[in-house]
Structure 1
Amino acid sequence: MSPAPSAVLFDLDGTLIDTAPDFIRCLNKLRVQRGLGALPPEHIRPSVSNGARAMIEVGFGLVPEDPDYQEYHTAFLDLYEAGVAEETQLFPGMAELLDWLEETAIPWGIVTNKPERFTTPLLHALQLDERCAAVICPDHVAQRKPHPESLMLACKQIGVDAASGIYVGDHRRDIEAGRNAGMTTIAVRYGYIEHPEEVDSWQADLVADTVSDLTKLIQYR
């Protein structure tokens, strides 16, 4: 059995918390405002980890080069900010994992590409803001994931060596960032992944299909 990790860092959307319901609600609300029908949740969910840009492409077929893109992008983010935690919650089983980490005195933190504008009120609403040892958003670094800067900063704030920590994520860029930082990486297949079979090609050290699997990998790896 390997030594206990010095810290466990989590990606946010699709890894630690299920933000999809609020993304789906806001996108469909914007579609209705624009005279369109709501899309099925399963049509939107796989793209949630790719952020607002992906939502606008899924919902309206617009990309940043299109003339109307910025208007839709801004309107979507305003809707999301107004209700950032209406339906969002920890993935089932994650509360117990966080409790175990705290009881075992293993600090945990969040490293996300979600801007601080949304991350801070979201964590406050879920009462996680005073529990996590570090929260790193793209606002805090020069380069986003998959660059390792954000992970290294989180480890520095916590006071641990990245090489003895774990990073957990549901996107290829998360695993690349973790590897670039020299951390043990765990890819989770329960997140917002359009093609779950592709997770095996990300070269993560470990793969978890469920939160229960993730808990076992962290506790007994």
Structure 2
Amino acid sequence: MGASRTIRAVLFDLDGTLVDSAPDLLSALAWLRRIHELPPLDYAGLRHHASRGALGIIEAGFADRPDLDREQLRARFLKRYGERFWVDSRAFAGVEAMLQQLSSEGMLLAVVTNKVARLAAPVVSAAGWDEVLACVIGGDTTDNPKPHPAPVLEACRRLGVHPGDALMVGDDLRDIEAGRRAGCLTAAATWGYVAPGQDPATWGAACLLQHPQEIHDVIK
């Protein structure tokens, strides 16, 4: 980060960055397979798909049934998940303290996720972050989701900050691409749902983070 850059806002991906939502997402997937009378899967092996969105999870979870309509599966999946989105989901270790510290220091904070806004906002509320996060930008808030820069730019607009004064943090390549295209500083969260075989060091992020607390170190 250049000496002249002052970070005024931090934008976070949600699933895999702030919240470990895989248990509830994969529970909804398991339920959907059961009602289709399909055998259970190794859900530990599907964990990294939790940041791919509903269709990504469906594709991974129903790879053995390409004949089933994906949009119908997605609709049922989202309905089930929407009813049980905060059963076993929790903030990642260190996230709560990091958010509170940044907020107390006057940093502007927001979520920029590809999860649809009607599901993202309740997750933020359930985590108790309504007073900490200034806005939640969902995958349907703008015309294009990440890796398009539009959601990041919209978050910066709502926060009243120049993109060059914002840090985008995420656990997926599309988070980094969206942030870079918007002109933000970027950081890859390696504690999230990085897929096997992927190397966050190749994503082009300004830095790699091993723990949420390191975000504070990057800013300072």
Query: Same fold by TM (over 0.5)?
Result: yes
Partner of 1:169: 170
Partner of 2:183: 182
Partners of 1:7 and 1:189 in 2: CA distance: 20
How much identity, in percent, do the aligned residues show? 35
Partners of 2:69 and 2:198 in 1: CA distance: 35
Q: What does the per-residue CA deviation read over 1:177-212, in whole Å, with 9 as the maximum and x for residues that have no partner?
A: 111111100011111111365211111011112324
Partners of 1:216 and 1:210 in 2: CA distance: 11
Q: Is 1:46 paired with 2:48? A: yes
Partner of 1:92: 93
Structure 1 residue identity aligned to 2:38: L
Partner of 2:129: 128
Q: TM-score, normalised by structure 2?
A: 0.91
Partner of 1:30: 32
Question: Which piece of structure 1 moves more, 44-53 or 193-202?
Answer: 193-202
Partner of 2:194: 193
The answer to whether the 8 Å contact 1:97/1:215 transfers is yes
Partner of 2:108: 107
Q: Is 1:11 paired with 2:20? A: no
Q: Is 1:74 paired with 2:75? A: yes
Q: Unpaired segments of 5 or more residues in structure 1? A: none
Q: TM-score, normalised by structure 1?
A: 0.91
Partner of 1:217: 218
Structure 2 residue identity aligned to 1:191: G
Q: Unpaired segments of 5 or more residues in structure 2? A: none
The answer to whether the 8 Å contact 1:28/1:37 transfers is no
The answer to whether the 8 Å contact 2:176/2:186 transfers is yes
Partners of 1:49 and 1:104 in 2: CA distance: 29
Equivalent position SS for 1:46? helix
The answer to whether the 8 Å contact 2:55/2:70 transfers is no
Q: How many residues align?
A: 218
Partners of 2:216 and 2:161 in 1: CA distance: 21
User: Aligned Cα RMSD in Å?
Assistant: 2.0
The answer to whether the 8 Å contact 2:100/2:132 transfers is no
Partner of 2:117: 116
Structure 1 residue identity aligned to 2:9: A
Partners of 1:196 and 1:210 in 2: CA distance: 20
Equivalent position SS for 1:140? coil
